[in-house]
Chains A and B, each alone.
Chain A
Amino acid sequence: MLKDMQSYERPPFVTVDEAPEGDHFAGGLEYNPPARGVWNIVHTGMLIPGAHQIFVCAQGCLRGVILTAAEMGMLDRLSWVSVSEEDMFDGTLESDVVEGTAEIIQKLPERPSEVLLFLSCIHLFAGADFEEIIRELGVRFEDIHFTDCYMTPTMRKTVSPDAKMRTQLYEGLRACPIDPKSVNIIGCDRPTDESSELVRIIKENGFVLRDITQAKSYEDYQQMAKAAFSVTYLPTAKGAGDRLSERFGSRNIYIPNRFDPQGIREELSKLCEALGVELPKLDEEEKKAMEALEKARELIGDTAVAIDFTAVTRPYELAKLLCEKGFNVRYIVNDVLGEDVEAFRWLKKNRPGIKIFSALNVNMLNAAESAEKSGETVLAVGQKAAFFFATDNFVNIVANGGYYGFSGIKAIAELMCGAFTVPKDRRTVIQHKGIGCYSCVYQD
């Protein structure tokens, strides 16, 4: 299979030693594998309690967001205005947004505290004055906060819709006196593991920790404006933390989720330094993480391991750690090198034969069938890896699964053991849109 694929005009994989930094693959037509666990902008927007989402765009673009809400059982929290061909050229592009939004608000059974108003590629491309739209709506509905939001995948190279959404999620916060003992975890779509060193350091030092994922009401959400510190650890959340610093003067502590012991200590040191607390001894936590990895390695043995970028934000760093602990990491699904450059270079030197597969390449269309035919047993970390390598033995997480630090490594090692021992119903599990969200279609 792999030999054949190398002869393609657009080969879907490259070995680590040959992979360039930056984009690993030449761009081209893109395939969309049926792994749906990663959250989209609708899932993220639903984190603001009681907020109403209004999308203004063409029918084709509306469909995905509407049905995301429908599958979540939250259609009553999303409305839309469709844009026709004529609307784009008859000078009503902006007034349609204002009038359509106003009409929707008047028809809603209850006034929302906040409206997330999404415009699309065509509006930005046509130079629609979003600021003026928001201002006009704010004048008409003084009791509602309007947040400008963006469904602009065409502009993804300049503004990532995902990162932008994580920033806009906090635009509704109103300035209030800062509480020096308040900390927010910002930009996550799931709570951070309570047993993580990250959460424990914050809580055990008397800080109040808030996270939008745990806000039960709009008032809870507003409490987040008090925080003196924002902790961000997803790369796509860093901008959100910076924006809150800009607005409220809070300090953004960006401590990315690492998979190497030294790195974890460095990041947690940054946190402690910023909070003005002592870095706890982490030897016990590290020992437990390494023991969990050892136990997993004993169980999993030489079984091929595949890791994908949707499961963990630093796939090369996780691969390096697993390789160092004796796992047989054979495949990584990732299109672009992110922050884990050093680990990538380590792999180039020490594990040059690991194959990096594109998640998007046209020739990945039949990868799952080829993997099925090969009969190779693979343990996957992530849904896309599970799909492409046709395995029911997979760790079902996205965006690090809410895990962090040594406890995160331990948790992932345990999940790997669980996945190795108990296969999942891959077809059902990976088609559930937005891991952790209710789905009327798939109950895992």
Chain B
Amino acid sequence: MKNVSTVIPCYAADTSGVCSALYELGGLTVVHDASGCNSTYSTHDEPRWYDKRSMIYISALTEMDAVMGNDEKLILDTVAAAADLRPEFITLCGSPMPMMTGFDYDAAAAEIEERSGIKCLPMHTNGTRSYIEGASEAFLAAVKAFAKEGPKVENGVAVLGATPLDFGLSGSIGSIRTWLGERGFETVSCLAVDSSFKDLERAALAKVSLVVSQSGLAAAKYLEKEFGIPYVCGVPYGKKYAERVERYLRWAMEDNETDWVDERSGRDFDTVVIGETVSAFSLCSALYWDLGIDAAVICPLPYEEGRLGRDLAMSAEEDIKAFLEECRPARVIADPLYRYVVPKDTRLTELPHFAFSGRCFGQRIPDLINKDIKEFFE
């Protein structure tokens, strides 16, 4: 069965994606779920929880409220919390139980907005999908609601799809900002690490969006459609590949052209990368440009239709295991907890992914932005 795993973990779910995306943007986020269920997010999916406060709460749904359809309690509690905390906006997202009862997020959000006078964004999560879907919906909704039209900032870049779920607290997002600055770009908005509500408002002032994970793609497409801002998908890993990304950013600004910086040899691969699509594609390209390594991607998470080429979409433990057994790559680059499915004679280069192994290897997530990656991979 595809939904069965004997040993490897599952990825963070959609609700965590919403919370992670909006964590620093000044909103009040309410997850409609039972008491205690927020500890999964706050313990395992959110490395900022201890050191940086965010108004993320659980509705403490009970069996009786679910059975009786007592949505009023959630609405009243949220409005009361908003009165005490005065957030920039409110977000309402859900879990499996509200899905079963047919909870109407749009209606509840409209009611909360009317009573509190604060913009309320409904998210349609249900705890059964991946964090990518949740973060993607959150970034899109937030940009739609709050990005303001204005004069474009010269060489301005909006970094989209940045969350600790994909980058941990490795410093990678800070390094992307530094790298952009060193190359004459200005980060006008970063959604959303080391960010604030202002970043959200300024997202449409960029000349180009840099999409660093699949979570940022929907927002990038919206900004392109509504504000004419092209986007480039890629994470500037390595040295030579980072140069490629820089070049694409300039082309995008000059020619208003959107693109993925996915450049690989097309030769037979001997390395497999398992991970989030934008990151994994970028890493494969960096391996090629910087080290001459030919790699393919296993995408266990949502990806853009038509992007895969020779890469493979598979998430089931049995599929990944069978594929690796059959293809026997010389090396797999993946989170350490994939070790259970990597064949014995295949080398595993551990690249921790917070959305997969959570805190287990959080301290070991490397910052490979614009760095010489030879030592790490060779």
B45 proximity list for chain A (CB < 8 A): 63
In whole angstroms, how far apart are the Cα atoms of A32 and B11 in the complex? 21
Is A94 an interface residue when CB atoms closer than 8 A count as contact?
no
Q: Are A58 and B127 in contact (CB under 8 A)?
A: yes
Measured as residues with beta carbon below 8 angstroms from the partner, the interface class of chain A is 35 or more
**Which one of B91-99, B146-154, B216-224, B273-281 contacts A?**
B91-99
Is B68 an interface residue when CB atoms closer than 8 A count as contact?
no
Q: Are A154 and B61 in contact (CB under 8 A)?
A: yes
Q: Are A121 and B57 in contact (CB under 8 A)?
A: no
In whole angstroms, how far apart are the Cα atoms of A31 and B97 in the complex? 20
Q: Are B77 and A29 in contact (CB under 8 A)?
A: yes
Q: Are A60 and B128 in contact (CB under 8 A)?
A: yes
Task: Select one of A30, A67, A87, A155 contacting B44, CB under 8 A.
Answer: A67
In whole angstroms, how far apart are the Cα atoms of A123 and B224 in the complex? 43
Is B359 an interface residue when CB atoms closer than 8 A count as contact?
yes
Is B35 an interface residue when CB atoms closer than 8 A count as contact?
yes
In whole angstroms, how far apart are the Cα atoms of A58 and B16 in the complex? 13
A76 proximity list for chain B (CB < 8 A): 7
Q: Which of A63-104 contact B (CB under 8 A)?
A: 63-64, 66-67, 70-71, 75-76, 79-85, 87-88, 96, 99-100, 103-104
**Which one of B48-56, B173-181, B292-300 contacts A?**
B48-56
Task: Select one of A34, A75, A154 contacting B97, CB under 8 A.
Answer: A154
Q: Are B58 and A32 in contact (CB under 8 A)?
A: yes
B338 CB, min distance to chain A CBs, angstroms: 12
Task: Select one of A59, A66, A70 contacting B127, CB under 8 A.
Answer: A59
**Which one of B80-88, B235-243, B370-378 contacts A?**
B80-88
Q: Are A28 and B81 in contact (CB under 8 A)?
A: yes
Q: Are A61 and B62 in contact (CB under 8 A)?
A: no
In whole angstroms, how far apart are the Cα atoms of A392 and B362 in the complex? 24
**Which one of A204-212, A263-271, A358-366 contacts B?**
A358-366
A61 proximity list for chain B (CB < 8 A): 37, 40, 95-96, 127
A131 proximity list for chain B (CB < 8 A): none
A29 proximity list for chain B (CB < 8 A): 30, 57-60, 77-78, 81
Q: Are B7 and A100 in contact (CB under 8 A)?
A: no
In whole angstroms, how far apart are the Cα atoms of A121 and B49 in the complex? 26
From known contacts A36-B43, A104-B4, A154-B97, infer whether A62 and B61 are also in contact, taking CB-CB under 8 Å.
no
Is B255 an interface residue when CB atoms closer than 8 A count as contact?
no
In whole angstroms, how far apart are the Cα atoms of A120 and B95 in the complex? 12
Q: Are B84 and A58 in contact (CB under 8 A)?
A: no
Q: Are B96 and A60 in contact (CB under 8 A)?
A: yes
B45 CB, min distance to chain A CBs, angstroms: 7
Q: Mark B144-167, 1 if CB is under 8 A from A, else 0.
A: 000000000000000000000000
What residue in chain B is nearest A63 (Cβ atoms)? B40
Is B358 an interface residue when CB atoms closer than 8 A count as contact?
yes
In whole angstroms, how far apart are the Cα atoms of A80 and B34 in the complex? 21
From known contacts A58-B95, A153-B35, A441-B360, infer whether A75 and B9 are also in contact, taking CB-CB under 8 Å.
yes
A205 CB, min distance to chain B CBs, angstroms: 41
A88 proximity list for chain B (CB < 8 A): 96, 99-100
What residue in chain A is nearest B359 (Cβ atoms)? A441
Is A126 an interface residue when CB atoms closer than 8 A count as contact?
yes
Task: Select one of A10, A70, A369 contacting B357, CB under 8 A.
Answer: A70
Q: Are A440 and B96 in contact (CB under 8 A)?
A: no
B362 proximity list for chain A (CB < 8 A): 441
From known contacts A59-B10, A67-B358, infer whether A153 and B37 are also in contact, taking CB-CB under 8 Å.
yes
Q: Are B360 and A70 in contact (CB under 8 A)?
A: yes
A60 proximity list for chain B (CB < 8 A): 13-16, 33, 37, 40, 95-96, 127-128
Q: Are A63 and B58 in contact (CB under 8 A)?
A: no
Q: Which of A1-38 contact B (CB under 8 A)?
A: 8-10, 27-32, 34, 36
Q: Which of B109-153 contact A (CB under 8 A)?
A: 126-130
Is B107 an interface residue when CB atoms closer than 8 A count as contact?
no
Is B12 an interface residue when CB atoms closer than 8 A count as contact?
yes
From known contacts A58-B13, A59-B13, A67-B360, infer whether A366 and B53 are also in contact, taking CB-CB under 8 Å.
yes
In whole angstroms, how far apart are the Cα atoms of A440 and B33 in the complex? 29
Task: Select one of A70, A85, A365, A441 contacting B9, CB under 8 A.
Answer: A70
Is B36 an interface residue when CB atoms closer than 8 A count as contact?
yes
A32 CB, min distance to chain B CBs, angstroms: 4
Is A287 an interface residue when CB atoms closer than 8 A count as contact?
no
Is A443 an interface residue when CB atoms closer than 8 A count as contact?
no
Is A107 an interface residue when CB atoms closer than 8 A count as contact?
yes
B127 CB, min distance to chain A CBs, angstroms: 3
Is B63 an interface residue when CB atoms closer than 8 A count as contact?
yes
B201 CB, min distance to chain A CBs, angstroms: 24
Is A373 an interface residue when CB atoms closer than 8 A count as contact?
no
Task: Select one of A9, A66, A107, A433 contacting B80, CB under 8 A.
Answer: A9
Task: Select one of B4, B8, B53 contacting A100, CB under 8 A.
Answer: B4
What residue in chain A is nearest B9 (Cβ atoms)? A66
Which residue, of A58, A126, A156, has the highest number of chain B Cβ atoms within 10 A?
A58
9 A–B contacts from the bound complex (CB under 8 Å): A29-B30, A59-B11, A60-B40, A64-B43, A70-B357, A71-B359, A153-B36, A362-B81, A363-B85
Cβ-closest 8 pairs across A and B: A60-B127, A64-B40, A60-B13, A153-B34, A29-B57, A154-B34, A59-B13, A9-B80
Q: A: which residues have CB within 8 A of B?
A: 8-10, 27-32, 34, 36, 57-64, 66-67, 70-71, 75-76, 79-85, 87-88, 96, 99-100, 103-104, 107-108, 120-122, 125-126, 153-158, 360, 362-363, 365-366, 369, 427, 431, 433, 440-441
